[in-house]
Structure 1
Amino acid sequence: MKNKMKRILAIIVCISFILTFLPINSVSFAKPRYDVWKDKIKIYDADKKIKRAEAEYEGYKYIATFDKDTNEIKLKVKPLNTKKFDKSLDNLSLNEEKNFSVKVEYFDGENLKAKLIDEKTNEEYNIGDSDTVTAQFAIAIPIALGLAEALIASLLLIGKVIELFGEKYVEASEVIENVKNNKYEYYKAAIKNGILYIGPAIDYPTAFSRVYNFNLDVFCKNRDLARKLAQNVANSFPFGGFIRGPEKEGQSSIYFYHYHVYEILSPSSNSSYKLPCHIFFP
């Protein structure tokens, strides 16, 4: 019994020793929210089409720009003052200005996944929601990943833009007049954080499949198109279906009328299934 206790104590001492000398940056902590950085970030209009966000942190100035016409995002990181380093170390890059193109892969208003592409070397660095955030930043420049992510997210939020699976969606209120007046009849749509976003234009077969096969939202140019799409989907179920609407759901920011589609599950009962998607119209 005594020998067993000694072994347990020895294990505890070893673990304590390891934890005492474990580098603190090897421990995983929860990813900070963007509001951790909000007091450091200033956002303003550089001109009529360029939004600019900047911050200073640990001797560097971070400048992110968002072109509202092209959806292009750039990030610049430059030292505020030339620093003196031990000449025996290869730290020349720490005094260099770095310019990155930003490729946003996903942004739903809260979670961001993007790549920073060094415009000089074409090297790519992952930021945001990724399991492969690289340690190469320690070599390229000691960039604060959380701050870079917050700057980009802030610009997207100001621009009322989200990026879902490589496609641009814009808050519905920002583009509704274009939807009413242009030639396209159907659009991808998505609800994120209680806000309706309108995505790329699509044709009728894609709109039908989006509702019927994938239960995803669609925005139509007018009420007649929305009703026809909803009814056609309902009629295509094996035992038929029906539609409800047009309706609004309370006082939420999803303030556009829409139809819901129901599938009849059995010809011998009154049971039905409400598809979770919406067919919106202006």
Structure 2
Amino acid sequence: MPELPEVETVRRGLAPYIEGARIEAVTLNRPDLRFPFPEGFVSGLEGHTITHLGRRAKYLIATLSNGGAWLSHLGMTGAFLVADQLLEEASRLNPGDSSGKHVHVRVHLVHPARGRVTLSYSDPRRFGFMDLFAPGAANPFTDSLGPEPLGNDLSAPYLAERLRARKGPIKTALLDQRVIAGLGNIYVCEALHMSGIDPRRAGGTLDGGEIEELVAAIRQVLAAAIAAGGSTLKDFARADGQPGYFQHSFAVYGHEGDPCPRPGCGGTIKRIVQAGRSTFFCPTCQR
């Protein structure tokens, strides 16, 4: 499943092609993805302009000229393609299935600078989904989410308050999307190692200094992954079909049995399972 940096790099790749573009026509090649398309999906998009392409956690959200919101989740293998166009961040966009066999949605756009643009959504496994929300409507996918990890709303005082009564492991707390939006398993493992915090510790036991280090580590790890084009795994690939770069910079994730990369540590990376997810950490330097 693509994590926040992968979704953000997709957003950056697509934005120059669809922001400011008018949706002329939408074609659905099947009635559903993971979920059925909502009633009125096509008519609710056609005729409107995409004023902004944003991201909330792992969701792409296109704001429409009528104030509505078109939400997309990529699932395991979802990908947007811009036909016959060299993407401005070509190394940062999953090409999906270029054969067209698994293209389920086509959106025909007219962009003020680029002219006619065809946006296609490909998803071989169909774990992704789309939804459409009227202006001002409640959004059950995003309304309960915590602050963005790279935004100003995530601060050490905020996180300290959210962790104060937590008796469960800090790793589990950080994966709670109501605490911080968009943090996934890979980057939580990496941030906890960078900040030297044992993933098994109760969230409520962290002191102010540790929380400051943790917030800084979360920002640093995510920023580095976005700059590298994400940490592509399995089906989620760069435009040339090769895996993303940041996975080669993992300090602990996937490194069970390897020496800890922290200078002078001398420990060995260990893998445990927490809440059904693999946790990689160094029991020597993560206190």
TM-score by length of 2: 0.25
Larger radius of gyration: 1
Higher relative contact order (CA 8 A, sep 6+): 2
Structure that is richer in strand per residue: 1
